[in-house]
Amino acid sequence: MKKFWKVGIALLVVLLLGLSSSRILFRRHFFEHANPDRHYEKILNRFNSKLHLSPDQKTKVAATLDQSRQRIKALRAELRPKFDEIRDSANAEIRSVLNPDQQMKFDEMQAEWKARKGKRQSE
């Protein structure tokens, strides 16, 4: 019986370590892409290390990446209101099928999502 408990505890420890390391890797990956400067710097470094860019090439590639980043940023700004409208419409439709208790919980969930989104954008 003691052996069973030891094996169970060992499996639980392995599971918890796996989950926590997966979360750490996910957050690292997510936040790298959430920070455009870091993301583009990483791309430039990858190009430089794989392609052995000259200093002039590195400058030109960096300028191209920066221009594309600005264009993508402008496109996102243009499209964001449309995405927001679709999301808000879906949330209103979901909320309409919920009972009053569920609506309160749904409102709390939305407040948590907005708070997390604000926290991520400020980092």
Question: From CA 98, how far away is CA 106, in angstroms rounded?
Answer: 9
Structure confidence at residue 19 (pLDDT):
65
pLDDT digits (tens, 9 = 90+) for 8-43: 677 667 766 676 666 665 555 555 556 767 888 889
Q: Give 47's contacts (C-beta < 8 A, 6+ positions apart).
A: 53, 58, 61
Question: From CA 116, how far away is CA 123, in angstroms rounded?
Answer: 11
Q: pTM surpassing 0.85? A: no
Structure confidence at residue 64 (pLDDT):
94
pLDDT digits (tens, 9 = 90+) for 79-113: 999 999 999 999 999 999 999 999 999 999 999 98
Q: Which residue has the tokens 């710097």?
A: 41
On the CB side of 33, CA atoms within 13 Å amount to 5
Question: From CA 47, how far away is CA 53, in angstroms rounded?
Answer: 7
The domain locations on the chain are 1-34, 36-122
3-state DSSP assignment of residue 70: helix
Question: From CA 91, how far away is CA 87, in angstroms rounded?
Answer: 6
